[in-house]
């Protein structure tokens, strides 16, 4: 267990370390040289130096036993420093996850203790040249080596693609097909027949090492089969998806905020047309404030999911997918807008926002692409819609109506409008059998993520109002600020669900005559109320801009 105080101290040490060892000029130089700073990565992981690894290794193996919330806080901070270095450091946790969930006690002791005591680096080898999103297409094989009728080892053949730490790790968890199905193995660097490719020349995260792996008759002992039972690999991979996707979600959040935190002070100083850019509404309300709202919606979902995982609610894969989808898409949009916010300067290496934008791009690809997240979210929630005969999101909406009755400032009423509209859009998709169109299935994933995130953000703003957020929670905004951010996001989410939902349900009709009645559809999704709820948006955006720029506080308008 890590206390809020210990976590704060760790973050402080991490910042100190980064200030000394990874100042901006060094980051720019490493990025230009396309170089992974191996010594820095090792020092960050070494128990004698920074020892980030220790935070996440269970206490019985020599670590501090951090949970999902701690991982989120550290990942966000790491991403604010550099997403390539963050990837290199956190690859060890990704790599050791199959061990954490599936290993025998002896295997855990052997490998997790080495991470804690020696700071060894791991890599996670799942992806292959022809098996990316579809891991079932895996071709790497692990054939049994049998002596006297007993399996004494495995012979691994095949290749892995795009492996973070691929060229620098000490140990690798590798997914391979045994006679009984996909299974994880630990393979050490230096094993005969195991080789690593040259570092990939990447668009971003150039401070992380990414390499292909090749296995030619690599023989490992039977005790390298994680868990000792064949065929558990995909289950073990899935058991940590909620958790690992939260890590990448926090990467998106940290990188997005680090770009905005360069754009915000820049715009306060940059004078154009007689005044600072920060005072120009056309600038802040396009480039800054909407990105803040989307990032904080992602944060609300991350924090809520992390708390639930730590409370033992299971692996929460769908929630992890929503957190990842929202935060990484928001992080990308924020970094892209930050280039625009710095104009020509943003387009140069020196100001770093273009590097952050290149770096954060990966978060929508690795640990499951955004499209795979949409599919995961949609399939799961579709089942809930069917099981409850269309009531799932209506029920959830009613909980937000009740929240609104007690806390009218946090945007819960508009989140409820988004959720009711979602239920109606899903029901129309069901009646017309529209999920046969994969595009509709995936768009549903997006609308679900927006509506649920609006709910999470309203709940978070309500908790902050009541001073009930956990000690470890991010405290950047006060209750008034977060409530305004929540109202801004809820309006966007509701409009997106209703407008885009209608667009695609109508768009699936072959011709106008076959399309659903538009007026009835508008009434069902309550489009009128959703449009009316946009009132107050400008005042809330003005207020959030004032909060971000530290200007005199004015009372925020709200949609009570």
Ligand X SMILES: Cc1cc2nc3c(=O)[nH]c(=O)nc-3n(C[C@H](O)[C@H](O)[C@H](O)COP(=O)(O)OP(=O)(O)OC[C@H]3O[C@@H](n4cnc5c(N)ncnc54)[C@H](O)[C@@H]3O)c2cc1C
Among 125, 199, 411, 455, contact with ligand X (rule: CB under 6 A) = 125
Question: Catalytic: which of 76, 128, 200, 367?
Answer: 367
518: which residues sit within 8 A by CB, 6+ positions away? 502, 506
What is the smallest separation between the CB atom of 356 and ligand X, expressed in angstroms? 15
- Whether 367 sits among the annotated catalytic residues: the reply is yes
What is the smallest separation between the CB atom of 135 and ligand X, expressed in angstroms? 8
What is the smallest separation between the CB atom of 457 and ligand X, expressed in angstroms? 26
Q: How far apart are CA 53 and CA 474, in angstroms?
A: 22
SS3 of the chain: helix, strand, coil, percent, to 5: 65, 10, 25
72 near ligand X, rule: CB under 6 A? no
Name residues contacting ligand X, limited to 172-191 (CB under 6 A): none
Nearest to 540 by CA among 269, 284, 331, 344: 284
What is the smallest separation between the CB atom of 513 and ligand X, expressed in angstroms? 31
| Rg, C-alpha atoms of the chain | 24
Among 43, 188, 279, 371, contact with ligand X (rule: CB under 6 A) = 371
Query: Helix 353-360 crosses helix 317-341 at what angle (to 10 degrees)?
Result: 150
b/e per residue 60-93 (b: at least 16 CB within 10 A): ebbbbebbbbbbbbbbbbbbbbbbbbbbbbbbbb
What is the smallest separation between the CB atom of 115 and ligand X, expressed in angstroms? 16
Nearer to ligand X, 254 or 290 (CB): 254
Nearer to ligand X, 125 or 233 (CB): 125
Answer whether 419's CB lies under 8 Å from 392's CB.
Answer: no
Q: What is the pattern of x (binds ligand X, CB under 6 A) and - over residues 135-174?
A: ---------------------------xxx----------
100 near ligand X, rule: CB under 6 A? no
The region of 60-68, 178-186, 360-368, 428-436 touching ligand X under the rule CB under 6 A is: 360-368
What is the smallest separation between the CB atom of 46 and ligand X, expressed in angstroms? 21
What is the smallest separation between the CB atom of 390 and ligand X, expressed in angstroms? 26
Q: How far apart are CA 256 and CA 292, in angstroms?
A: 9
Q: How far apart are CA 407 and CA 466, in angstroms?
A: 9
Give the bridge partners for 213, in sequence order: 160, 196
Answer whether 227's CB lies under 8 Å from 103's CB.
Answer: yes
Q: What is the pattern of x (binds ligand X, CB under 6 A) and - over residues 394-413?
A: --------------------
Which residue number has the CB closest to ligand X? 132
Among 40, 44, 88, 91, contact with ligand X (rule: CB under 6 A) = 91
Answer whether 140's CB lies under 8 Å from 156's CB.
Answer: yes
Nearer to ligand X, 85 or 205 (CB): 205
Give the bridge partners for 144, in sequence order: 154
b/e per residue 494-522 (b: at least 16 CB within 10 A): bbbbbebbbebbeebeeeeeeebeeeebe
Among 365, 399, 432, 557, contact with ligand X (rule: CB under 6 A) = 365
437 near ligand X, rule: CB under 6 A? no
Nearer to ligand X, 37 or 411 (CB): 37
372 near ligand X, rule: CB under 6 A? yes
The region of 17-25, 112-120, 364-372, 402-410 touching ligand X under the rule CB under 6 A is: 364-372
Q: How far apart are CA 498 and CA 495, in angstroms?
A: 5
The region of 30-38, 47-55, 269-277, 366-374 touching ligand X under the rule CB under 6 A is: 366-374
Q: How far apart are CA 331 and CA 337, in angstroms?
A: 10
The region of 1-9, 145-153, 363-371, 408-416 touching ligand X under the rule CB under 6 A is: 363-371
What is the smallest separation between the CB atom of 126 and ligand X, expressed in angstroms? 3
Greatest Cα-to-Cα distance within the chain, rounded to the nearest angstrom: 86
Nearer to ligand X, 25 or 201 (CB): 201
Strand (E) or helix (H) holding 152? strand 150-164
Name residues contacting ligand X, limited to 196-225 (CB under 6 A): 202, 205, 210
Among 117, 214, 369, 534, contact with ligand X (rule: CB under 6 A) = 369
Nearer to ligand X, 47 or 132 (CB): 132
What is the smallest separation between the CB atom of 233 and ligand X, expressed in angstroms? 12
φ, ψ of residue 326 to 5 degrees: the values are -65, -45
126 near ligand X, rule: CB under 6 A? yes
Q: How far apart are CA 348 and CA 34, in angstroms?
A: 17
Name residues contacting ligand X, limited to 446-505 (CB under 6 A): none
Torsion (CA) 346, 352, 357, 358 in degrees, nearest 10: 120
Give the bridge partners for 147, in sequence order: 150
The count of other CB atoms within 10 Å of the CB of residue 248 is 28
Nearest to 172 by CA among 186, 157, 153, 152: 186
Nearer to ligand X, 351 or 504 (CB): 504
132 near ligand X, rule: CB under 6 A? yes
What is the smallest separation between the CB atom of 319 and ligand X, expressed in angstroms? 19
124 near ligand X, rule: CB under 6 A? yes
The region of 49-57, 113-121, 361-369, 427-435 touching ligand X under the rule CB under 6 A is: 361-369
# chain residues binding ligand X, by CB under 6 A: 20
Q: What is the pattern of x (binds ligand X, CB under 6 A) and - over residues 312-351?
A: ----------------------------------------
Give the bridge partners for 275, in sequence order: 272
- 162: phi > 0 → left, psi -120 to 50 → alpha, else beta; which? left
* Binding site residues, ligand X, CB under 6 A: 91, 124-127, 132-133, 162-164, 202, 205, 210, 362, 365-366, 368-369, 371-372
Q: Which residues are catalytic?
A: 367
């Amino acid at each position: 267990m890590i206390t809020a105080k210990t976590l704060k101290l760790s973050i402080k040490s991490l910042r100190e370390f980064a200030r000394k060892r990874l100042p901006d000029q060094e980051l720019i130089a490493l990025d230009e040289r396309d170089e992974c700073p191996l010594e820095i990565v090792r020092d960050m992981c070494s128990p004698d130096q920074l020892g980030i690894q220790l935070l996440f290794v269970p206490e019985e193996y020599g670590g501090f036993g951090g949970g999902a919330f701690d991982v989120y806080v550290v990942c966000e901070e790491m991403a604010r420093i550099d997403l390539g270095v963050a990837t290199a450091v956190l690859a060890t946790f990704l790599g050791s996850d199959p061990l954490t969930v599936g290993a025998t006690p002896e295997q855990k002791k052997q490998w997790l203790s080495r991470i804690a005591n020696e700071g060894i680096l791991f890599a996670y080898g799942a992806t292959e040249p022809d098996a990316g999103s579809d891991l079932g297409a895996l071709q790497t094989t692990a054939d049994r080596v049998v002596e006297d009728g007993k399996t004494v080892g495995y012979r691994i053949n095949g290749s892995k693609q795009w492996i973070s730490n691929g060229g620098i790790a000490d140990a690798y968890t590798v997914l391979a097909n045994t006679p009984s199905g996909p299974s994880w193995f630990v393979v050490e660097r230096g094993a005969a027949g195991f080789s690593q490719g040259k570092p990939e020349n990447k668009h971003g995260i150039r401070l992380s090492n990414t390499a292909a792996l090749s296995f030619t008759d690599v023989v490992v002992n039977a005790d390298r089969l994680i868990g000792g039972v064949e065929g558990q690999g995909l289950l073990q991979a899935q058991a940590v998806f909620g958790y690992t996707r939260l890590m990448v979600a926090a990467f998106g959040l940290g990188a997005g905020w680090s770009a905005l935190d360069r754009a915000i002070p820049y715009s306060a100083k940059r004078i154009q047309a007689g005044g600072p850019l920060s005072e120009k509404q056309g600038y802040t309300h396009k480039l800054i404030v909407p990105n803040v709202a989307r990032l904080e919606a992602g944060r609300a979902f991350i924090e809520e999911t992390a708390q639930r995982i730590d409370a033992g609610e299971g692996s929460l894969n769908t929630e992890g997918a929503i957190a990842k989808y929202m935060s990484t898409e928001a992080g990308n949009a924020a970094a892209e807008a930050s280039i625009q916010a710095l104009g020509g300067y943003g387009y140069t290496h020196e100001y770093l926002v273009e590097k952050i934008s290149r770096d954060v791009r990966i978060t929508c690809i690795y640990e499951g692409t955004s499209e795979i997240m949409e599919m995961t979210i949609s399939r799961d929630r579709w089942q809930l819609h069917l099981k409850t005969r269309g009531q799932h999101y209506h029920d959830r909406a009613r909980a937000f109506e009740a929240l609104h009755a007690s806390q009218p400032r946090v945007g819960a009423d508009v989140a409820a409008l988004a959720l009711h509209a979602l239920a109606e859009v899903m029901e129309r998709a069901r009646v017309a059998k529209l999920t046969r169109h994969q595009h509709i299935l995936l768009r549903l994933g997006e609308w679900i993520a927006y509506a649920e995130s609006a709910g999470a953000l309203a709940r978070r703003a309500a908790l902050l109002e009541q001073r009930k957020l956990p000690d470890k929670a991010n405290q950047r905004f006060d209750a008034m600020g977060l409530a305004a951010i929540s109202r801004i996001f809820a309006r966007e989410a509701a409009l997106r669900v209703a407008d885009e939902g209608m667009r695609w349900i109508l768009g699936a009709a072959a011709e106008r005559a076959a399309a659903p009645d538009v007026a009835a559809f508008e009434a069902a999704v309550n489009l009128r109320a959703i449009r009316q709820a946009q009132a107050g948006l400008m005042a809330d955006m003005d207020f959030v801009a004032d909060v971000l720029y530290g200007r005199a506080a004015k009372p925020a308008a709200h949609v009570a």
